[in-house]
């Protein structure tokens, strides 16, 4: 069984170099999470957002693995607080009439119950609120959870404006340790944001890494490199990103592809190969 490389965050949280994403798995979630962990994944991403995630299914799959002797401490588990505008109005997992801080607390308690755990390795704000005062109100509520020891670090997702990320970072007492964004050409692959993160030890996680980049996976340079390395184009792209310090999410439901994703740490790209791939990001 291939085991993923690990990165230590600014809060000394051990994070695997690739994470299994659980969005849109619905009633297959428990079985797929159990399969992913059994094959070697040690990082799981979910959210308290019934619209796109079956968080209780994640908890069921994780519990099955823990029952077979896997220590909870070996699994990096992160979930998200999703503000109202990201929720299905018919499936809001907290009191929509409550204040923002109460919504964060209620959502977090629901996550712990769903996931059958006493703590999260990371609590992520699913998307930053546009109103600065509301953004900070939510973040302060998340900081209290961190201070209570129930979340080992905090993060933010879907933050594509450097000014907003800088505002949050500067205003926060507990700085974000993770930024999780869609990795695609339309955002310029977050070049400025990734540079900001590198300078401040914020770990950048990418999602839609393969789905949003068919042109890169089909590029002649990458395909020829894959042939030379005897790897798939997806493996080459994932490995390239990990060598940049990016942690990719993968949501495959195929056991074969899960094993391929985990095997990216069995080889390393040379500096000239990384430079050639860097050119594909513009």
CA-to-CA distance for 228 and 222, rounded, in angstroms? 10
Is position 129 within any domain? yes
Q: Provide the pLDDT for residue 195.
A: 97
Is position 221 within any domain? no
Residue 64 CB-half CA count within 13 A: 15
C-beta separation of 133 from 171 below 8 A? no
C-beta separation of 238 from 264 below 8 A? yes
Position of tokens 């700085």? 175
Is position 188 within any domain? yes
Q: Provide the pLDDT for residue 149.
A: 98
Q: Provide the pLDDT for residue 183.
A: 97
Q: Provide the pLDDT for residue 282.
A: 80
CA-to-CA distance for 282 and 272, rounded, in angstroms? 16
Structure tokens at 88: 């299905």
CA-to-CA distance for 120 and 15, rounded, in angstroms? 12
Is position 231 within any domain? no
Is position 248 within any domain? no
Residue ranges in the chain modelled with pLDDT below 50? none
Position of tokens 């297959």? 28
CATH number, domain containing residue 113? 3.20.20.100
Q: Provide the pLDDT for residue 2.
A: 66
For residue range 90-107, list pLDDT tens digits in order: 999 999 999 999 999 999
Is position 263 within any domain? no
Overall number of domains in the chain: 1
CA-to-CA distance for 255 and 68, rounded, in angstroms? 20
Is position 227 within any domain? no
For residue range 142-191, list pLDDT tens digits in order: 999 999 999 999 999 999 999 999 999 999 999 999 999 999 999 999 99
Structure tokens at 41: 């994944």
Structure tokens at 3: 């085991």
Residue 57 CB-half CA count within 13 A: 22
Closest C-alpha to 183, from 263, 129, 241, 259? 241
C-beta separation of 180 from 203 below 8 A? no
Region at 58 (left for phi over 0; alpha for psi -120 to 50; beta for the rest): alpha
Is position 33 within any domain? yes
Residues of the domain holding 137:
13-210
* Stated pTM of the model: 0.97
Q: Provide the pLDDT for residue 4.
A: 78
For residue range 195-209, list pLDDT tens digits in order: 999 999 999 999 999
């Amino acid at each position: 069984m291939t085991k993923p490389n690990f990165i230590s965050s600014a809060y000394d949280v051990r994070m695997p170099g690739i994470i299994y994403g659980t969005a849109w798995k619905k009633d297959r979630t428990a079985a797929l999470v159990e399969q992913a962990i059994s094959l070697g994944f040690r990082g799981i991403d979910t959210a308290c957002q019934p619209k796109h995630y079956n968080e209780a299914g994640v908890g069921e799959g994780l519990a099955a693995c823990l029952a077979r002797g896997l220590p909870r401490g070996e699994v990096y588990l992160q979930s998200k607080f999703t503000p109202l505008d990201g929720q299905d109005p018919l499936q809001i997992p907290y009191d929509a009439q409550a204040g923002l801080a109460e919504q964060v607390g209620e959502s977090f308690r629901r996550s712990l119950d769903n996931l059958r755990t006493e703590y999260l390795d990371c609590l992520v704000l699913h998307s930053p609120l546009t109103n600065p005062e509301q953004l900070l109100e939510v973040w302060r509520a998340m900081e209290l959870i961190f201070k209570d020891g129930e979340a080992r670090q905090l993060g933010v997702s879907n933050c594509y404006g450097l000014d907003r990320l800088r505002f949050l970072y500067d205003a926060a007492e507990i700085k974000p340790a993770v930024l999780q964004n869609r990795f695609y050409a339309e955002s310029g692959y977050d070049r400025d944001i990734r540079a900001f993160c590198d300078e401040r030890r914020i770990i950048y996680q990418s999602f839609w890494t393969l789905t949003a980049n068919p042109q890169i996976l089909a590029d002649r340079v990458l395909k020829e490199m894959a042939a030379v390395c005897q790897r798939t184009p997806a493996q080459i792209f994932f490995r390239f990103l990990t060598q940049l310090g990016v942690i990719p999410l993968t949501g495959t439901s195929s056991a074969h592809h899960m094993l391929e994703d985990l095997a990216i740490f069995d080889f390393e790209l040379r500096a000239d190969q990384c430079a050639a791939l860097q050119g594909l990001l513009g």
